[in-house]
Structure 1
Amino acid sequence: MDLITKTGAAHDIAAAFIRLNPLDDVLVARQPLPAGLFIEAENLTVAQPIPAGHKVASRALAQGEPLRRYGQIIGFASQPIAAGEHVHVHNVEMGDFSRDYAFGVDRRETPRTQATFQGIVRPSGRVATRNYIGILTSVNCSATVARAIADHFRRDIHPEALAPYPNVDGVVALTHGVGCAVDPKGEALAMLQRTLGGYAVHANFHSVLMIGLGCETNQIDDLLAAQGLQTGHQLRTFTIQGSGGTTKTIASGIAQVKALLAEANQVKREAVSASHLVVGLQCGGSDGYSGITANPALGNAVDRLVAAGGTAILSETPEIYGAEHLLTRRAVSREVGEKLIARIHWWERYCQRMNAELNNNPSAGNKAGGLTTILEKSLGAVAKAGSTNLVDVYQYAEPVRAHGLVFMDSPGYDPVSATGQVASGANLIAFTTGRGSAYGCAPSPSIKLATNQRLFEHQEDDMDVNCGGIADGSTSIEERGAHIFAMMLRIASGERSKSEQHGYGQNEFVPWQIGAIT
């Protein structure tokens, strides 16, 4: 057995570090490594203390030399790095390098399987995983009345309001901070309208009230026309100005919700194919273990979902930067691959215009957890996408029509990204975290996957799945992948996730704000 030794102590080498690829220039610490520790398997002495999840150089590197993890470039040495040194932001920097997009060379057929869950089949044929009544706002000015209407039906405040309607998951108000003082023909308003339109017809809503002020730029009639929607029994619209003020608007909203509850309560769950499951993939509060444990395990679950005919939405474009070539190689066509690269180029121009850098991501928490550059973070993040073909690429909040693995453009900020995924049709969110992100998403339930054992134990009331055992070998990516897929089916069937139990979901609705406010 390989051993690591220090001052006469001996430990199993598996407890010390992880080498992810024979080409790698770094090892990942499984546990805090003390200075002076000798790793016999690598003929390497640790030069200074290495925190868990961080990297130690496995060989000497000259200034300017590329560093590899996962067998891929994650950055360049900003100064000479000796073997055994801590590799992190103090001695690694970004740099340009070419990527071989090799469109479609790795595409392959996915063997088909069958799986089912207990879903709610809407009259349109769309399938829901939850049954809410939603209240949307066209503008921030109507947010207060929307919240007041929803608060009337809160189970923690007025448990009697929904007691006769056990099949209604709740009444939720999804408000935002924009909707006026923007270019009426610009990209920002079109994106907001696309987002609200996607929520207005989301399968997880039995019915929706949309409330405006009345004089905003984002006129409700224009929004509906732009999205090809019409008002009716299950999509009702009104304004504060048209209703005669705040008190009357709240009273009207409460009365309309009451009139819808009995009908909403009549839904029944039935066995449906997993092909109706659309899962948004997220990672937030990532750490050095994310790309080793939870993300690959989620990727394994995604492969199982796609094999069963379902759909997975990968997003967070800045967090695939530097790893996009791994996706283009799996594109079903050159056209799909080029659509992805076009979004990457858009982000490069966007950051230049905003005097920002894509490497502003990773966050402070990501770096504390061991991630050094956006390239490293991206290589771990794309593991969520599993190994099946990339079948299409969508803009933010654009309706997803394809089945299989797709990509939707979004920022890396989780609430904004997940909001777009739900607008695109996601009826479930799977969210990996290493630092302990607390997140939920109405009307679609969110499953939280912990990347490490310590997080799962420390923040267990927020975490649905523990993937930490993958790092120490006590479980496998395949076992956790099967477990996650089974949980997806259970949550889609009505079992409540941890974030739902805590009441997360309303405040996390954050449409992408991209334009100038004038």
Structure 2
Amino acid sequence: MNSPRTIRLSFDDNVVVAIDPADRGSSIAGFTVRDRIPRGHKMAIVPIREGEPIRKFGQIIGFAKTYIAPGEWVHEHNVGLHDFERDYAFCADARDDDVLPPEMRATFQGYRRASGKTGTRNYIGILTSVNCSASVARFAAMEVERSGILKDHPGIDGIVAIVHGTGCGHAAYGEGFDILRRTQWGYASHPNFAGVIMVGLGCEVFQIGRMKQEYGLTETETFRTLTIQETGGTRRTVQAIVEAVKDMLTVATKARRETRPASELVLALQCGGSDGYSGLTANPALGMASDLLVRHGGTSILSETPEIYGAEHLLTRRAATREVGEKLVSRIRWWEAYTARNGGEMNNNPSPGNKAGGLTTILEKSLGASAKGGRSTLRAVYEYAERITEHGFVYMDTPGYDPVAATGQVAGGANLIAFTTGRGSAFGCKPVPSLKLATNSDIYRRMIDDMDINCGDILDSVSLEDKGVEIFQSLLRVASGERTKSEELGYGDLEFVPWQVGAVM
């Protein structure tokens, strides 16, 4: 019988990762296994004294709470976390990205919009300013679908009601309001929408008229607004929305895909349901694809600030300028204060599922999660839902909660999402297609209807470079109209979750 496989990720590591589960008494990495080691979990390969750092990826992921002998399982029961100094070394590893000349860049088939942006889908959206108009938006979307009119417009990807649970009961100024305003504007102007109707109740804090004034918006054949109170109640508002959709269909159906350069792609990098394989397979492979996109002139967005905590020093080293690096550190400090005043701590993450999959501390999770960002230079750091204007590898400050993070990235302009998962996340994000990458072959087979690409074969013989090329080519096909598994299943109607910051009153 073959010995269980393990991998040591760096010469400096004092643990190995079990690729296969190892029973107590078996022999792996030249040691007798003292405890059963589940797959994706860690085993000590040298004596680790109490208080000494645990190293994986060549980085500190925690500290021994007790003496750990070679062959012992290394996890929550014997690993703790405390603060320690990190060398931010701003810009030390920054370099000029090797961007291809325009004539050599990859292309895709996208929808060129009047705004100059390019869409990868052709939806009509019904946006809501407040939760009080959410049901009306859904009623209208269902009425359009029941009417069968969409059958006469095959070039339309569908009608989607973008509803949420906020919009009132909070201050009309300040951080929370600004976040909601940026998010709403980002969706209202997103290139994956051929047309948008925004509906409110009328008396809410988030006033549609104020947003129109602040962004200089006017009513057009592809942008309409109304409120339930002014229109005359639920039934009349539903009918008015349906009629507005019908008018937009005649315009939206004229949109045609055309050849566009990959430089117009904006890729949101996401991970959820991470496991001990995430930092070994899908995340670094996605990092390879991210670097490829940057090389072809495109943009990729790394996010989820609580899930790069402890790995931020690897990103500040790649910052294009000291200002960019310091902005990232300032967001880390904001999160430390935010969790403290809410009675939490940064190590509240990983989740129970992450821990069951082999991730012990937030530092370990973050080191694996940050691998999605590849090795390109960090060009900019953005606030949540802020419009992305830089090309290349950038960062957006978001929570780690996937729907909230993805909502911010899409509002910022992402027209593609690549989502890695080891435990098996079920996710979609209309109006943007989401490509699901499995970190291990078991979850790929078990959730075959949800997973688009298997990265588990990296543990066998496939190289990270080859998998990165496979992901990049898949992204181009999806951008050109190939449907992802989450789209086939119908995901995306309920995943619009703007980040709520501040008091709810």
**Residue among 47, 56, 63 paired with 2:43:** 56
Displacement after TM superposition at 1:232 (Å): 2.4
What is the match of residue 464 of structure 2?
Answer: 477
Task: Tell me by how many angstroms 1:275 deviates.
Answer: 0.3
Normalised by the size of structure 1, how large is the TM-score?
0.95
Matched, 1:415 2:403: yes
1:186 deviates by: 2.2
Deviation per residue, 1:351-402 (Å, 9 max, x gap): 1111101111100100000000000000000100001100000000000000
State whether structure 2 residue 121 is matched by structure 1 residue 121: no
| Aligned partner letter, 1:100 | D
State the superposition RMSD in angstroms.
Answer: 1.0
* TM-superposition CA deviations, 1:11-69 (whole Å, max 9, x none): 2x6x5111111111111111110111123xx4311101110101111111111111000
Look up the equivalent residue of 2:316 and give its one-letter code.
Answer: T
Q: Say if 2:300 is the partner of 1:312.
A: yes
**After superposition, what is the alpha-carbon deviation per residue over 1:78-118, rounded to whole angstroms, capped at 9, x for unaligned?**
11111111111111111111111111111112222311000
Q: Is the 8 A contact 1:428 1:444 kept in 2?
A: yes
SS at match of 1:74: strand
Identity rate, percent: 58
Distance in structure 2 (CA, Å) of the matches to 1:226 and 1:60: 62
Q: Is the 8 A contact 2:441 2:454 kept in 1?
A: yes
Q: Tell me what 1:273 maps to.
A: 261
Distance 1:102 1:224 in 2: 43
Match of 1:400 among 379, 388, 392: 388
Aligned pair 1:449/2:437, yes or no? yes
Q: Write the mapping of 1:194-233 to structure 2, written as runs, cut at 5 A.
A: 194-233=182-221
Deviation at 1:166, TM superposition (A): 0.7
1:227-306 pair list within 5 angstroms: 227-306=215-294
The Cα of 1:225 is off from its aligned counterpart by 2.7
Is 2:19 the partner of 1:30? yes
Q: State the alpha-carbon separation in 1 of the partners of residues 174 and 282 from structure 2.
A: 39
1:464 Cα deviation from its structure 2 partner = 0.4
Mapped contact 1:194–1:227 kept (Cα < 8 A): no
Distance 1:334 1:171, change over 3 A: same
Correspondence for 1:493: 480
Report the residue type matching 2:248 in the other structure: L
Whole-Å separation in 1 of the counterparts to 2:16 and 2:395 = 31
SS of the residue corresponding to residue 179 of structure 2 reads helix
Structure 2 residue aligned with 1:3 = none
Aligned equivalents of 1:454 and 1:463: distance in 2?
11
SS of 1:107 mapped into structure 2:
coil
CA displacement at 1:163 relative to structure 2 = 0.6
- Contact in 2 for aligned 1:118/1:271 (Cα 8 Å): yes
Q: Is the 8 A contact 1:197 1:224 kept in 2?
A: no
SS of the aligned residue for 2:144 comes to coil
Q: 2:60 aligns with which of 57, 68, 73?
A: 73
Runs of 5+ unmatched residues, structure 1: 1-8
Q: Assess, with a 3 A threshold, how the Cα gap between structure 1 residues 482 and 512 changes in structure 2: closer, same or farther.
A: same
Identify which of 110, 114, 121 aligns with 2:97: 110
Unaligned runs of 5+ in 2: none
Paired AA for residue 19 in structure 1: R
TM-superposed deviation, 1:185: 1.1
Which amino acid counterpart does residue 23 of structure 2 have in structure 1? P
Change (3 A) 1:228 1:343: farther
TM-score (norm 2): 0.98
1:142-172 Cα distance to aligned partner (Å, 9 max, x none): 0000001111233xx55x2211101100010
Question: What is aligned with 1:19?
Answer: 8
1:337-376 pair list within 5 angstroms: 337-376=325-364
**Do 2:221 and 2:247's aligned partners in 1 also have CA atoms closer than 8 Å?**
no
Q: Is the Cα–Cα contact under 8 Å of residues 148 and 250 in structure 1 kept in the other structure?
A: yes
Indicate whether 1:463 and 2:451 are aligned: yes
Specify the alignment match of 2:129 in structure 1.
Answer: 138
Aligned match of 1:176? 164
Between the aligned partners of 1:452 and 1:227, the Cα distance in structure 2 is 45
CA distance in 2, matches of 1:339, 1:310: 22
Aligned length: 501
Residue 514 of structure 1: CA displacement?
Answer: 1.1
